[in-house]
Amino acid sequence: MATKSKTFILEGQAAWEQTGEGVRRQIMGYSEQLMLVKVEFQQGSVGAMHEHPHAQASYVASGKFEVQIGEAKQTLACGDGFFVEPNVPHGVRCLEAGVLVDTFTPVRRDFLKA
């Protein structure tokens, strides 16, 4: 079966998945080679350091975050972005509640329900 999302993905219709304390995500679109995920953070919540073989490009849609990629740390706010090469450890700490748009290539199969 083809791995692909609908063409239009409405916030009011997409499922939310709680992924940690004060953190939840909505999968907003994907096919085999590309996935876009909305991740909503409450102030003080954390996306713990982790790594994966997928390349990741992210955008701060709202809020403020301390982002660590490898050894580098940077505070990013609405309108900023960051890029994570495959297998590089990265994580975020939410300084002000907001939304990250995380995109991956290839698709994060681990995010898809069986």
Q: Is 104 in the site for a second copy (CB under 8 A)?
A: yes
CA distance 4 to 1: 9
Q: Is 97 in the site for a second copy (CB under 8 A)?
A: no
Contact between 108 and 37 (Cβ < 8 Å) = yes
Q: Is 19 in the site for a second copy (CB under 8 A)?
A: no
Q: Is 61 in the site for a second copy (CB under 8 A)?
A: yes
CA distance 62 to 77: 7
Q: Is 57 in the site for a second copy (CB under 8 A)?
A: yes
Q: Is 41 in the site for a second copy (CB under 8 A)?
A: no
Cα distances (angstroms) measured from residue 89 to each of 13, 22, 45? 32, 21, 18
Residues lying near a second copy in the complex (CB under 8 A) are found at: 4-11, 28-31, 33-36, 38, 55-59, 61, 67, 69-70, 72, 74, 76, 79-85, 101, 103-105
